[in-house]
Each structure stands twice: as structure tokens, then as C-alpha cells.
Amino acid sequence: MTSPHSRHQDDVSHDLGRLLRRLADDGGEEGLTLHQIRDRLDERAYGLLILILSIPCLVPGLYGVPQAVGVIIILIAAQLLIGREEPWLPRRVLNLRAKGKWLKAMADFAESRLGWIDRFSRPRLLMFTTGAGERAAALFMILATLTIILPMTNTIPSIALALLSVGLIQRDGLFVLGGAVVATGWLTLLGVLAVGLLIGAEWTSRLIFV
């Protein structure tokens, strides 16, 4: 008898391009709902869902889409953080459909522009992709996404999200570390800028009102 969770057994034998191509082929012209996409994935559902959602956020200066998508990413990453086996999403979100043309474009993009990921990524440094390492990656995803929600700050944290997601999909701790470094650097930069603005505002107020 097949275990109810057997379809979630981790298998890194498929590269990223092949995973996306399989989704595009399964969806055909009609496409797939997020529910159907989730049910076609193994334990990498978390990483691939977040990667699919983060790619549109790479467009510089985009407003509206990153803010809406960011809420969903945080919800997914939070479940990964607490160790939930399969990502849960509200039914309304699960019923959202990725059109066939969009899935095909994603697969084409992965095959033409992201082939280097499949060439360079491989299972390694597994301590950063499983257990506590996986939960740490989820925390960095949440922190990066919080800055995506801010206006005009979406591209760099989306790069961090993409690296973290690929690391979890391919079980490559080096990509997870790269995403964590990008996220940490970005958060540090924003923190320095915020402190600078506060100090500048205080100095200006003293100059004007004292």
C-alpha cells in the first residue's frame, strides 16, 4: 500500500528547468491553479512556490504586484519556519490560476537564462537545506520579503529569495548561504539608511526649531 505522503519524498534528480517544463506541459493552454501546482510537487513545494512568486518581483521599481505577492510568500515561508510538511494557503489563493502562456514563459526563461543554476547547483552543504538550516532559510525569506513590501525596494530582496528558493529546491546549501548573504547585506543597508535619515531629521529639526 502506498503511503499517503509518498508523493512528497524528496527527489533532486530533476533539474529546475525540467520541473517548470513539466508544469507547463501539464497545464497546457488552460494552465494550473496554485492548488494543482502544489499537488504536483514533492518536498520542494515550498522552494518552488516561493521561486515562482518571487520572479515577477525582480522587475525594478514594480509597485503593486510585489506587495500582493509578498503577503503570500510570507505566509508560505512562515509555515516552512514552523516545520509544516505541506504549504497551506487559503482556498481563494489556491484557486488562483497561472495561465498556460505564463507557465510556458517561465519554463522557457528557466531553460534559456537559468541553465547555469542546473549546471552549478548540486546537493551539498545539506546542513543549510534541511532541519534547522531550512528553518533559518525560511526566516531569511520572511525578512527579505518584508522589504519587498516597501515601495521601490523589490529587486535585491527578490534576488535573495530566488537564491534561497533554488537552494532549497536543489538541496544546495551554497545557494542558501548566498541568498542569506544578499538578504543580510540588503537589510543592513536599509538599516544604515534608516538610521541616517533619523539622524538627519533630528539634526534638521534642531537647526530649524532651536
User: What is the pLDDT tens value at each position of the chain, 210 positions in all?
Assistant: 334 343 344 444 457 778 888 888 988 888 888 888 888 776 667 888 888 888 777 766 556 667 778 888 999 999 999 988 888 888 888 888 888 888 888 788 777 777 777 788 889 999 999 899 999 999 999 999 988 877 667 788 889 998 999 899 889 999 999 999 999 999 999 888 878 877 876 666 666 665
Q: Mapping DSSP to helix (H, G, I), strand (E, B) and coil, where does residue 132 land?
A: helix
Residue 2 lies in a domain: no
Residue 144 lies in a domain: yes
Overall domain count for the chain: 1
Residue 136 lies in a domain: yes
Residue 115 lies in a domain: yes
Residue 205: per-residue pLDDT: 65
Residue 13: per-residue pLDDT: 45
Residue 9: per-residue pLDDT: 43
Residue 1 lies in a domain: no
**DSSP string of 151-193?**
TT--HHHHHHHHHHHHHHHHTBHHHHHHHHHHHHHHHHHHHHH
Residue 7 lies in a domain: no
- Percent helix, strand, coil in the chain (nearest 5)? 70, 5, 25
Residue 139: per-residue pLDDT: 95
Residue 206: per-residue pLDDT: 64
Residue 187: per-residue pLDDT: 92
141, 77 Cβ separation under 8 angstroms: yes
Q: What are the phi and psi torsion angles at 20 (to 5°)? A: -70, -35
Q: What are the phi and psi torsion angles at 186 (to 5°)? A: -65, -45
Which structural domain range is residue 63 located in? 13-209
Residue 4 lies in a domain: no
Residue 178: per-residue pLDDT: 95
CA dist., res. 110 & res. 174, Å (int): 20
Residue 5 lies in a domain: no
